Chain A
C-alpha cells in the first residue's frame, strides 16, 4: 500500500518551453501533496505543499509563477515548470500523505522525475 507514481521519469526539453510533471497516489487519497527538488549529493529541498482543492503554499525563494502546482483531485497533483532554463535542471520528487495509509502523518514518495533543460 501507499504507492505514489510520477510521470514522466525523465524529460529533456529546450530552454523556454514548459514541462508538466504528474504525481499520483495509486491506492490512497492524498489530502496533502508535497513537491521537492534535489540536487546531486544533497538533501531534499521542499518547494511547495498543496492540499486538495486549494492553492499551494510555496517555500521562501520558490517562484510560484515559475513552478505552477495544481492539486485538483485526491489522487493527482501536477507541477509545471514554465519557461524552463538550464538552471531548472534537477531531480523533482513528489510525496503524498492522507487517508487510507497506515499512518496519515507519513509522507510516501514518488520515484522522481529527472528534468534536463538544454
Chain B
C-alpha cells in the first residue's frame, strides 16, 4: 500500500556538514531501493539506488546504507550545500517484471547557510 504522511519531518543542517536521512521500509520482500530528491514544484529526481545484495553504495557526495535485518535505509550527503535543500523520498520495490514502487513519507532537508 501507499505511505502518505500528513506532514513532512524536517532535518535542518548547517552548510558544509554531513546530512543523514533515514527511512524504514515495510516489505521484507523488497529487493530494490531508490532515493529520490524532489524540489518544490518539480518531479522527483533519481539520486542513488541499491539492491538487497549490497549494504552500501556510494555516489558523488552521497552514500546509501541498507540494513535488511531491521528494514532500514539511510542516505548520507557529504558536505551539504544549499542546493541540497529539498524533500527526499526513499522508495522500495521488487525488481523485475512490472512491480510498482512504494514511496516513503519523505523528509524535508533544510540547509542553513
Interface string of B91-109 (1 = CB under 8 A from A): 0010110101101111000
Contact A106 B41 (CB under 8 A): no
Contact A43 B4 (CB under 8 A): yes
Contact A44 B89 (CB under 8 A): yes
The answer to the question of B8 belonging to the interface, with a C-beta cut-off of 8 Å to chain A, is: yes
Interface residues on chain B, number (Cβ under 8 Å)? 28
Which chain B residues border A114 with CB–CB below 8 Å?
A: 41
Which chain B residues border A44 with CB–CB below 8 Å?
A: 2, 44, 89, 103
Contact B44 A43 (CB under 8 A): no
The answer to the question of A46 belonging to the interface, with a C-beta cut-off of 8 Å to chain B, is: yes
Query: In the complex the two chains form, what is the Cα distance from A95 to B43 in whole Å?
Result: 9
Contact B36 A42 (CB under 8 A): no
The answer to the question of B29 belonging to the interface, with a C-beta cut-off of 8 Å to chain A, is: no
Q: Which residue in chain B gives the minimum CB-CB distance to A32?
A: B98
Contact B98 A49 (CB under 8 A): yes
Which chain A residues border B7 with CB–CB below 8 Å?
A: 41
Contact A107 B101 (CB under 8 A): yes
From the candidates B3, B46, B100, name the one contacting A43 in the complex (CB within 8 A).
B3
> Can you identify 19 A-B contacts, CB atoms within 8 angstroms?
A4-B43, A6-B43, A32-B98, A41-B6, A42-B4, A42-B8, A43-B5, A43-B89, A43-B103, A44-B103, A45-B2, A51-B98, A95-B43, A105-B96, A108-B46, A109-B44, A109-B45, A112-B41, A112-B43
Binding site for B on A (CB under 8 A): 2, 4, 6, 32, 34, 39, 41-46, 49, 51, 59, 91, 93, 95, 103, 105-112, 114
